Structure 1
Amino acid sequence: MVETILAEIRRFVAESPGNRFPDGSGPYFDAPLVGFAAANDPLFREYKRIIGDFHLTPAELLGGAATVIVWVLPVTEGTRMSNRLESDWPSLKWSLTRSHGETLNGALRRHLAAYLEGLGHRAVAPQYAPAWQEFTDTPVGIASTWSERHAAYAAGLGTFSLSDGLITARGIAHRVGSVITDLALPATPRTAPDHRHNCLWHREGTCGVCIGRCPVGAITFAGHDKARCREFVYGAAPREVGERYGVPHTGCGLCQTRVPCEAAVPPGK
């Protein structure tokens, strides 16, 4: 069944018309990475302490939850290259990927949930569950009742960076999605020694390139200022280039490109 689920996720991403730039220049995303986490993994309960008690466990989102299926959609090289050249605002290709590519990601969430239900299993995409909420003022800053990145960490797909992004085998430039199901599947092992291992700064005290890439100084060696980042990503950037690019959401991604972790786990020393 694992191979069946993997094949369906990969097929949807490869064949979906929503994974294509409007000008026909290629896909928004490369083939996805997929991981599985046990719904009863103690880490999900631990997230209530790390993130906040408002963060829901898989069982709180779906009664009888057995598995969390998580995928990472790597941004294509051409898009990453276009954003490497920018220093103030996201590139057109990056902004189209953020806006239209996330629409594809949402379609994949809904498709996989329906696919699993068609196989006779219950499933829910946490982002679309009635219990999903976002909070702007928590002890950890802006947060929600379900973190796709934390689900991806639980599913063995990567570890966290200085900029709060998830560094995967395909790097930090990606989108993430997940679905919870009562279908029991074997969990993907977490092989990293700790939750920040893939980041050169956290691993060996080198790098920090993402600090200089942030146009508003939202990243320092002390960490990531979510509020300052959010104001730029959802405020200044769309106001400046959104209308010109023809999208409501532009993202930013400058700290995810022209950095050692852009497309892989950096080897370091």
Structure 2
Amino acid sequence: MEKTIIDLIRSFVRDDPGNRLSGNRAPYFDEPLIGFASAADSLFVEYKRIIGPFHHSPAEILPGAKTVISWVLPISRVTRETNRQEEQWPSREWAVTRNSGEAFNSSLRRHLVAWLEEQGHRAVAPQLAPGWRQIDETPIGIASTWSERHAAYAAGLGTFSLNDGLITPRGIAHRLGSVITDLSLAPTPRTSLDYRHNCLWYRQGTCGACIGRCPAGALSFQGHNKSICRDYVYGAAPAAVAEAYGVNQTGCGLCQTRVSCEAMVPASKN
């Protein structure tokens, strides 16, 4: 069944017309990575301590949950190349991917939920569930009741970075999604040595390129200032380019492009 679900997600990303930039018809996202985490994984209990008690466990979202299905949608090379050239605002292609590409991601969530239900299983996409909410003030800054990044980490899809992103085998430039189901699936092993291993700064004290890429000054070697980042991503950037680009949300992603982890796990430097 794991292979069936992997093939289902991959075919939807490959074939659905919603995964296309208008005009040049290039995809928003390349072939996805898919992983599975047990709903009973102790990490989901730890997340209530690490993120906050407001962070929902899989069973709180879906009673009887057995598995969290998580995926990584790598942003296409064409879009990443346009964003590499920017210094202040995201490129048009990046902004459209953040806006319309995320709408496609939600379509993928609904598609997988519907398929699982057709097979006789219960399923829910946490990001689309009525109880999902963003919390502006927590001890760790802005957070939400379900973190797609932390679900992906639990499913063995990557580790965290200096800028709080998730560095996967396909890099840090991506969108993430997940669905919880009562179908029992084999968990994907977590093979990294620790939860920040894929980041060169945390692995060996080198790189830090994302710091210089941040136009808002939200990054330093001490980490990621979520408040500064949010003000830029949801305030300054949309005010500057959203109307010209014809989107509601622009994202930013400068710290995810023109960096060593853009499209891969960077190799250690001697």
Please give the range of the TM-score, normalised by the shorter of the 2 chains.
over 0.9
1:79 is displaced (CA, Å) by: 0.5
- Displacement of 1:95 in angstroms is 0.6
Residue aligning to 2:78: 78
The equivalent residue for 1:49 is: 49
SS at match of 1:180: strand
Find out whether 1:246 has 2:232 as its counterpart. no
- Paired residue type of 2:104: L
Shifted more, 22-31 versus 69-78: the winner is: 22-31
Q: How is 1:1-269 mapped onto 2 (pairs within 5 angstroms)?
A: 1-269=1-269
Once the two structures are TM-superposed, the CA of residue 111 in structure 1 deviates from its matched residue by 0.9
Q: TM-score, normalised by structure 2?
A: 0.99
- The structural deviation recorded for 1:14 is 0.8
Structure 2, gaps ≥5 residues long: none
Q: Between Structure 1 and Structure 2, how many residues are aligned?
A: 269
Q: Spell out structure 1 runs of 4+ moving beyond 6 A.
A: none
Note the residue ranges of structure 1 that are not aligned, 5 or more in a row: none
Give the aligned residue type for 1:24: N
Secondary structure at the aligned position of 1:102 is classed as helix
Per-residue displacement from partner, 1:43-62 (whole Å, max 9, x unpaired)? 00000000000001000000
| Residue 132 (structure 1) shift | 1.0
Deviation at 1:130, TM superposition (A): 1.9
Separation of aligned partners in 1, 2:233 and 2:216: 10
Deviation at 1:108, TM superposition (A): 0.5
User: Secondary structure of 1:212's partner?
Assistant: helix
Rounded Cα–Cα distance in structure 1 between residues aligned with 2:202 and 2:85: 26
Identity %: 67
Q: Which amino acid aligns with 2:134?
A: E
Partner SS state of residue 131, structure 1:
coil
Rounded to whole Å, the distance in 2 between the matches of 1:96 and 1:120 is 36
Q: CA deviation at 1:24?
A: 3.2
Cα deviation 1:149-204 (Å, max 9, x = unaligned): 00000000000000000000000000000000000000000000100000000000
- In 2, the alpha carbon distance for the partners of 1:25 and 1:41 equals 40
The DSSP-based 3-state class of the residue aligned with 2:103 is: helix
TM-score by length of 1: 0.99
